[in-house]
Amino acid sequence: MFNCFGCGAAGTVIDWVMKTQGVSFRFACEILQKDAGLVAEVGTQTVKLRCC
């Protein structure tokens, strides 16, 4: 949570990223995921799954 005492803006970490980076909700979530190390960049690599 953040709260700006100057302009009164407040919100969550997602709101903060959206406001400071000028991105949509989706891209703010992707930025946070990458920063937290929750997703890895795999590029265009195709992964084949085996069943059984």
Number of C-beta neighbours around residue 1 at 10 A: 8
Domain of 2 in residue numbering reads as 1-52
Looking at residue 45, what is its pLDDT? 59
Write the single-letter amino acid at 15: D
Q: What is the pTM of this model?
A: 0.62
Tell whether the model's pLDDT for residue 33 goes beyond 70: yes
Looking at residue 41, what is its pLDDT? 58
Q: State the average pLDDT for the chain.
A: 80
Sorted by sequence, the CB contacts under 8 Å of residue 14 that are 6+ apart come out as 25, 28, 29, 32
What is each CA distance from 31 to 5, 8, 14, 35, 48, in whole angstroms? 26, 25, 9, 6, 27
Question: Looking at the 3D structure of the chain, how many domains does it have?
Answer: 1
Number of C-beta neighbours around residue 30 at 10 A: 14
- The partner residues of 10 in beta bridges, in order of sequence, read 3
